[in-house]
Structure 1
């Protein structure tokens, strides 16, 4: 059994990943039409051995590769070689899983600078002037 290391001592077994080989789409001529070089990777988040906090963070992540059922689907077909596409799909999965390894840093609220406050007020005055000039011509 091969193991895919993620981060901070967390790894997943490749038996948790379903890899399907298929023919790639698009241009490529005879190679695309006869060789199954594209890789379709499926990884079930809920059934995995990931820490519970990671599973929850992945399910909250708004990523088009994660289905509503909690399955990560990655299709790799950039390379002509099946081995390279397989390695590419596994690396993309590793990067996705590692993205939830570290919690996001909390935002430190900052105050607007004096220059930004001045620019904001100038924009407001300019916008008000434009709106004032939209009135009737003889109203002043």
Structure 2
């Protein structure tokens, strides 16, 4: 295993900043199932990490605010029976979350005006709808 987990643009998370916790996985099974600690909980202290540049760290903290517990990002995996595969799944989830969080935002929207044809179609649709609703009214005596 490498010393770092690569993200994007040459940014990587050092494995020394990750902490692992293992426990028994929940779920269906028969006799003697899940006697090994196959559930994996991966923790990364994003708030105090030196792995990301300041701008990217602030962006990630803002975008992942709902998932953080005191600045720590927690990812769990328990879908596989083997602990090693769950470790890989947790790392893959961590990479996907952080990569999406540090990605630059969409370009700013340049406001445009609707075309004359679009305005005319909208007004025609409003007129048609108005007539339809007027026909539903009770006739006056």
Q: 1:8 to 1:128 in 2, by over 3 A?
A: same
SS in 2 for 1:40: strand
CA distance in 2, matches of 1:9, 1:63: 24
**TM-score, normalised relative to structure 1:** 0.77
Q: Which residue of 2 aligns with 1:61?
A: 63
Residue range with higher mean Cα deviation, 87-96 or 126-135: 126-135
Taking the aligned partners of 2:116 and 2:33, their CA distance within structure 1 comes to 60
1:131 Cα deviation (Å)?
Answer: 4.2
> Contact 1:25/1:32 (CA < 8 Å) preserved in 2?
no
The corresponding residue for 1:24 is 25
Asked if the contact 2:38/2:78 (under 8 Å) is kept, the reply is: yes
Deviates more, 1:74-83 or 1:105-114: 105-114
CA gap 1:106/1:40 in 2 versus in 1, 3 angstroms: same
- Provide the aligned C-alpha RMSD in A: 2.8
Partner of 1:84: 85
C-alpha distance in structure 2 between counterparts of 1:29 and 1:118, whole Å: 68
In structure 2, stretches of 5+ residues that fail to align are: none
Q: Displacement, 1:87? A: 0.6
Helix, strand or coil for the counterpart of 1:57? helix
